[in-house]
Every structure is written in C-alpha cells, then in structure tokens.
Structure 1
Amino acid sequence: MRCGPGFFDVAGMVALHGGCIRKFDTKPHHFSGQRARQLNVVYDKSRRILPLDLIRRIVICHSGIANATPKRSKGAQNFRSTNMTDWKKSDWRNKPRVQMPEYTDAAALNAVEAKLSTYPPLVFAGEARRLRSHLADVSRGDAFLLQGGDCAESFAAFNADGIRDTFKVMLQMAVVLTFGAKVPVIKVGRMAGQFAKPRSAPTEVVGGVELPSYRGDIINDLEFTPESRMPNPDKMLQAYTQAAGTLNLLRAFSTGGYADIHKVHAWTLGFTAGNEAEKYRAMAEQISDTLDFMRAAGMGEEAAHALETVEFYTSHEALLLEYEEALTRVDSTSGKWLAGSGHMVWIGDRTRQPDGAHVEYCAGVQNPIGLKCGPTMTSGHLKALMAKLNPDNEAGRLSLIARFGAGSVGEHLPRLIKAVEEEGAKVTWVCDPMHGNTIKSSTGYKTRPFESVLREVREFFGVHNAEGTIPGGVHFEMTGADVTECTGGVRAVTDEDLSDRYHTACDPRLNASQSLELAFLVGEELSARRASAQSAQSA
C-alpha cells in the first residue's frame, strides 16, 4: 500500500522520539505530515518502515554535510603549536630530495615555473578548509571517507566520458557505503593532479637497453625511447591544463544536476551486472521510495539543493615539488599558505623522510595532508612525522593511509595505532589495500588479486575493532572503465583475461564492477561494526 501525505499506518513500531526510545501502540493511526515527522516513521509502498532518520541521512549523506559534536581524543596530546609564519614555499629546496627528476635544461624549467606561478590556483582555501572539517568528522566516526581514482592520470586517455564514469561509480559506491555506515560519505577523487608517480628503480631495461623509468605524464612519456624518457618541464603546463579541465567537469557534474539523488538509477554503468548490480538497484528503489514520500509530505523543497548537488574533492600525491610550489598561494582570509593544485595532497611511502623535501613542503601548507604508512614505518618515525605535519594536533589535518599488504596488517598496524594513542594524536585512519598487494601474473602482467584487496580491508577493520579505534576510510586505485587489470571479483577476471583490456599507464586498477563489489563488502564491515557498537551500548 502506498501512503498518501495524510495517512501513516504506525503498527507496533519503535522509533526515536526526542532522543529517547519510545514504543508506539499497535493500533493504526491517521496522522498529518507534521505528526508523522514528530513520530519519525512512515511506511513506503512495500510496507517497509521508512524512518525519517533515513530521509535526513539521505539528504545529509548525499550532500556530504555532517553536523557532529567534537569529541575529545584519548592520550596525553603531546603536541605544541609551531609558528610557521617564517615558512616559505621554496624551503623544500634546502632539504634532501628523493623520487624527483633531474631536468637538464634549467632555463626551460625556470620559465615553466614562472609561468605556472602566474596562473590561477586550481582550488581555493575555503574548499580545502571544508574538506578538513569533513575529515575531522571522519576521524571521530561521524563520517566515512571514500578516496579513489586512477593510479596515474594519462594525457592520452583524457576525455569527458572517462571522468564521468569514474565520478559515476564513486557516486554508486557512496550510496552503498552510506547504507552500511549510516553516516555521510566524503568523496575524494584521485583526480585532477595525479600525474606523477614514484618508482622502485630510477631506470628500467628493455631488450638490453637501459633508460630512465617512466614517472608519469607530468614528467616524461611512457614510450620507451631516449627522447620520450627525458624529463620535460613543459609537461607541467599540459598537466595544469588537464587538471583545470577535469576540475571544471567535476564541478559541473557535482552541482549541475548530474549528481541529483533523484537520478540514482541512472548512475548504473551498462556493463555492471550480477548480484552487486541487483543489490544496488534494490537500494536505489528504496531511495526512490523515500524521495516519493518526501515529495508527498511536502518536505522536498527544503532539501532540494542538498539532494541535487554533491560535494566532491580532489587529491593527489605531492611528488613533483616544482609544480606544487608554482601553484602554492597565500589564503587572503587567513594569511596562510595553500597548495593550489588540489584540495588534499599526500606524501608517499617512499618520500616520507621527516627531514626530507616532501615533508617540508607539506608541513607548510594548510590543506589536509595524507601520509602513506607502509611496513617500514616505525613508531618513532611516525611520531616525528605527526609532530612535523600536525604540530597543533588539529583533527582533519592528517590522514594516515595504511598500506601493508594482505596478511601483514596485524603485524604492523597495532604498533602504529599504539604510537598515535601514546601521543594523543588526532588522525584519520584510512586503508589503502592496493599498493601492498601488487604481483606479477603468470602471463607477465602486473596485477592485484581482488581477494587480497578484500582481505586487507577486512584485516584493517579487524585490527581497529580489536583496538577500539576508528577505521575512517578506504583509498582505492580504480576506474569507471570496463578494464581487466585486477584479477578476481564477481566477474572472475583471470590471468588470461588481463590482456583483453589492460589500459593502465602504471599500476592495475579495480574496474567498475570490482569497485562496486568492494563497496558492498566494505559496507557489510561498516554495518557489522555499527551493530556491534549498538549491542555494546544496550548491554
């Protein structure tokens, strides 16, 4: 039975009312829309209970807005405010540097840096501050972070359809995670700046010929020739142009109606199929039912803007510091420095030396900072980095992105959690299950088994559950395209299938189906964690 705006059958329901649990009698009642809002429950057309809390959650979670009360962190809070007023954006040049190219033409490099320094920033300080606020919510468990996108963005593959499809699958994943976590999902793309890549070796050998390694399109070309592998500073200008175009399209998708929650069914990609696609369609139907009720109850107008738009942020590894410095600007409202290349930047596992150039640069900008934490990260190393990167111990400033590999999380993560708790540090814990699970397939392709990716996510949640700490988010290398780069998943990609559509310029990515499947599995972990917490509270 479909309920009209003036009728609500409330039968034996328990609902939250005024902050207390209240049981209603089993006699059917007729209520106005206003009374229904007071009772916080309705039935949808399939006679499933639709709590108004779900309606609020759909509005809040879709738009990415959380209104949480800050909680005190545990620990001694051994942090002190550090005066960064003397910091200059070029200070990194006086520090040891690793994983950076050697440009042979200094004059050409200087000319590119000078030109970039006159260009507008790609993002603005208010946006970065807003993301920091959201990540503070994540650190307290009041929101969840979904971060994903290309391993390395490609100049050749730059097109509107690719950006749209990755954006679309992230919207789908966010819907799934929202249903599991019951909190807002903060959406951050590895997009509009992820052009540079660190490499395990400075050179590679093919057919007996040794040339510099490919380091991303912002530095050199993938083609294996001496000319292509020579670092070219002009490529920074092309990277800026592509980043600006990507951001322009993302802003249009986010606010121009494409991300309208009423179009939740339209986000499904044509090649996603199977059980995950069916489960997503069921969720989309429930959302549609809720939206129909809101419209019937006269609540649509007050939530219209939040339902039609979505907040979407960008991030990348701050690796090529000449590019980062050239786009660093002073925030006119605070007088502090901002990395204008993206909303969030992170420091890689190979460039996180406390006295190194990359840490020095990131310490001076006010953007939210990510820090990759691999198996070689020691407790002392982490404490030094937290003090350097977040001296004021502000929630939302520093995200620790754990990347250990399946089977190794239990060995390494607990000691890092202990180091954080000993310092009373406010951090956001994020799981990167990609980089520790890269192998070479029997057919010679670099790949990542889906089962290993999933196992690391489960181990990450398991350790946090055991330690009583908060698993704040996930960080995936993924695409909205129908590629065959990671084995396994619901479509059972095999080693032999990898050659069909292996398009990555660097490391293997989850395809759209695998990404959605993983979102459902992460959603199950979040749902189980929430149920466990509720059970403990009621015990």
Structure 2
Amino acid sequence: MALATNAAAAAAAMSGAAASQPRPHAPAFLPLRRRCAVRAVHAAEPSKGHGVPAAAKTSSPTVAPEKEAAPAPSPAAKALPKWSVDSWRAKKALQLPEYPNPAKLETVLKTIEAFPPIVFAGEARHLEERLADAAMGRAFLLQGGDCAESFKEFNSDNIRDTFRVILQMSAVLMFGAQMPVIKVSDKMNPSDLVKLIEILNPSNKPGRITVITRMGAENMRVKLPHLIRAVRQAGLIVTWITDPMHGNTIKAPCGLKTRPFDSILAEVRAFFDVHEQEGSHPGGVHLEMTGQNVTECIGGSRTVTFDDLSDRYHTHCDPRLNASQSLELSFIIAERLRNRRIRSSSMLNKHLTFVTF
C-alpha cells in the first residue's frame, strides 16, 4: 500500500478536460460539499467572544489550567537531521541519472528556472478540490502513465499517444459515471494507517490525502474492509485509489516480468465490491499503461500470450497495459460506475418519495 499527499503535476494538467463537464447533483446521502478545511476545535482555545452574550462571559470565573511541560524529545528525534526546504539536495537521488559536468548542469538548471512553471499554484489547488470530490464520491480519478520514462522516449509522438488513450479512457469513464474525471500492501495495520493520516492531514482537509491500495484481489477482499472501517470510525476523509498493477506481477516462463489482465481486472472488481459492501466511495484507479501497442501484460480481448511477450516488450521497468487493454479495462470500470450511479439515484428517489408521503 502507498499513501501519498497530492501534488501530481501531470494530473493537474489533465484535470482541465473534466472541468467543462456539468456537475451532477450529489445524492442526499453523500456528505455535503466543503470548500474549506475541516478544522478541529480544541476546548482549551479561547472562543474570542464571537456571538457570545455578555452574561455568558461573566457568569462565573474560570481558572486557567496549568500548562503541562512539553515532553523532552526522544534520542531518535534528536538524531534526525534538521529539515529545510532544500535539505533534499543533500540526499543522493538513486533513481536519477548522474551528470558528469556539474557546471553545465547548473547552467541548464538556471535556464529551466527562468521558464514559466509547468503547473501553477491555482491548478494544484484546483486538483486538490477535485480529489476532495473523489473522496466524497462525486468524482473518479484516473491516473495512468509509464512506470519509468527515458529521455529517448520523451518526444511528441509518445506524448500524443499516451494522452490520446487517457482521454479516450476518461471519455468512457465519464459516460459510465456521469461525473467528472481527474487525470493525474496488505501489511498495513488499520491503526497505523489512521495515525499516519492524522499526522499528514491534522486539519482533515478533503482532497489532501490519497490512500493507494496495492494488495492483489484476494487480499483486497480480506484487508481493505478493516482499513476502511478504521478510517471511517476515526472520522477521517481520504480518497481511496486502487493500484491493481503491483500486486499482480509474475514471472513468465521466458523470464520476463508480466501481469495477467484477468488478475488486474479481479483486483479492480474486488475494490468496487468492498466499497459497495462498506458504503464507502471508490475514488479512482492507478494504472501503468502506454498508448503504444506493446506486449507486456498477458491477456485481454486481443489475447497476448506468454509467447507474444518478446515481440514488443519495451518497458524500462515494469510491464504496462497496452492501448487496447487500457481501453478494455476502462469500459469495465465504466459499467461498474454506471451501476453505482443507477443504484444511488434509486436510493435517492426512494428517500424523496418517503419524505413526500
């Protein structure tokens, strides 16, 4: 399982396509839309007297409790290096290329710094609001792309092919869900997840935290319900995302890594089934995919077999769904979203009929 705060630049760039879509009416049983942060109110804080009658202010004196001494930092905390905005520069980036000419690198970096930003602050805030919609069941997130990208493949053709498939997938999902789409381990203990969320999002702001589950279909049905219940009982708001890729990687007889399409589909179905049983919102799906006609994941309607893997196995890291498999999966997800929307409308109509009577 991965838990991430949301600052996905690529996702923000993709969210514009969804912005122009009409927003559906939220069913009555969903939480009300909030644009402001959900803040905790501490009894020890002064009320500042807003709207409090004078009699209430002077009715009885109170004695301020003595402040408890702050606990001394633990040895482990003392050993932690001091954080600063640029402290990351002192750490070794193991997954980035090494540049042998530091002076030339610095020149290029200064040139890049002079360019306009790829993503503006307003776009990042807009993405956070859309992720909050996904957390409340009013949107569904589609996050897709390569596991690893090389400089060689960074060209207009690859960008065009990938964006085209993502746009096609989002159109399919929007048709099924009738709601906007934001593009952008089973070993987790429920109580640990709650503590981590509270640390990362103390104000419980919707859209701030995304919980990405990667467990495999069977583990999903066993483990995910406990995580959902723990988060709900703590009153926390998160966006639940499924990653059906990493829990389903196997080794083919030829020695190449691959992922069975049927296993990926089974985990997606388990994700929807569990959320339906728990009454929570499936927020989105994370896929490793490409717009190219690669043969890296077996299965799908245009069956890719173990023998086909070596034909067009181009990934630099993990196997990806090809364009056909990605679209096939999006149609299946769209059907689940459509069924969910129909059930929600039916429940809302029953509620309204009861109130009218």
State the TM-score, normalized to the length of structure 2: 0.71
Q: Are 2:293 and 1:499 aligned? A: no
Residue 405 of structure 1: how far off its partner (Å): 1.2
Deviations 1:165-218 (A, max 9, x none): 111111111111111111111122xxxxxxxxxxxxxxxxxxxxxxxxxxxxxx
Separation in structure 1 between the aligned mates of residue 162 and residue 97 of structure 2, nearest angstrom: 33
Structure with higher RCO (Cα < 8 A, 6+ apart)? 2
Q: Specify the SS of the correspondent of 2:218.
A: coil
Q: Percent identity?
A: 52
Match of residue 154, structure 1, among 150, 166, 174: 150
Structure 1: give runs of 5+ residues left out of the alignment.
Answer: 1-58, 189-373
Residue in 2 that maps onto 1:187: 183
Residue in 1 that maps onto 2:32: 71
Match of residue 124, structure 1, among 117, 120, 124: 120
What pairs with 1:307-456 in structure 2 (closer than 5 Å)?
374-456=185-267
Residue 101 of structure 1: how far off its partner (Å): 6.3
Residue in 2 that maps onto 1:479: 290
Residue 164 of structure 1: how far off its partner (Å): 0.5
| Counterpart contact for 1:136–1:396, Cα < 8 Å | yes
Q: Specify the SS of the correspondent of 2:272.
A: helix
Deviations 1:98-123 (A, max 9, x none): 98469999994997599469454432
| Counterpart contact for 2:295–2:322, Cα < 8 Å | yes
Q: Specify the SS of the correspondent of 2:321.
A: coil
Residue in 2 that maps onto 1:315: none
| Stretch of structure 1 that moved more, 374-383 or 498-507 | 374-383
Cα 1:175–1:376 shift into 2, 3 Å = same
Residue in 1 that maps onto 2:337: 526
Residue in 1 that maps onto 2:6: none
| Counterpart contact for 1:438–1:446, Cα < 8 Å | yes
The count of aligned residue pairs is 287
The one-letter amino acid of 2:213's match is A
Deviations 1:377-427 (A, max 9, x none): 222321222122212111111111111112210122112112211221111
Residue 375 of structure 1: how far off its partner (Å): 1.3
The one-letter amino acid of 1:496's match is D
Deviations 1:343-364 (A, max 9, x none): xxxxxxxxxxxxxxxxxxxxxx
Q: Specify the SS of the correspondent of 1:493.
A: coil
Structure 2: give runs of 5+ residues left out of the alignment.
Answer: 1-15, 43-81, 351-357
Residue in 2 that maps onto 1:346: none
Separation in structure 1 between the aligned mates of residue 104 and residue 225 of structure 2, nearest angstrom: 45
The one-letter amino acid of 2:233's match is E
Cα 1:524–1:88 shift into 2, 3 Å = same
Q: Are 2:165 and 1:169 aligned? A: yes
Cα 1:80–1:125 shift into 2, 3 Å = farther
Residue in 2 that maps onto 1:228: none
Separation in structure 1 between the aligned mates of residue 198 and residue 327 of structure 2, nearest angstrom: 37
Cα 1:414–1:72 shift into 2, 3 Å = farther
The one-letter amino acid of 2:133's match is D
Separation in structure 1 between the aligned mates of residue 265 and residue 208 of structure 2, nearest angstrom: 27
Cα 1:140–1:458 shift into 2, 3 Å = same
| Counterpart contact for 1:390–1:397, Cα < 8 Å | yes
The one-letter amino acid of 1:88's match is S
Residue 127 of structure 1: how far off its partner (Å): 0.8
Q: Specify the SS of the correspondent of 1:472.
A: strand
Cα 1:447–1:387 shift into 2, 3 Å = same
Residue in 1 that maps onto 2:174: 178
What pairs with 1:192-231 in structure 2 (closer than 5 Å)?
none
Deviations 1:211-236 (A, max 9, x none): xxxxxxxxxxxxxxxxxxxxxxxxxx
| Counterpart contact for 1:66–1:143, Cα < 8 Å | no
Q: Specify the SS of the correspondent of 2:241.
A: strand
The structure with the largest strand share of the pair is: 1
| Counterpart contact for 1:145–1:187, Cα < 8 Å | yes
Cα 1:99–1:133 shift into 2, 3 Å = same
Separation in structure 2 between the aligned mates of residue 113 and residue 67 of structure 1, nearest angstrom: 49
State the TM-score, normalized to the length of structure 1: 0.48
| Counterpart contact for 1:144–1:472, Cα < 8 Å | yes
| Counterpart contact for 2:162–2:291, Cα < 8 Å | yes
Q: Specify the SS of the correspondent of 1:408.
A: helix
| Counterpart contact for 2:148–2:317, Cα < 8 Å | yes
Q: Specify the SS of the correspondent of 2:217.
A: coil
Residue 155 of structure 1: how far off its partner (Å): 1.2
Cα RMSD over matched residues?
Answer: 3.3
Residue 88 of structure 1: how far off its partner (Å): 3.3
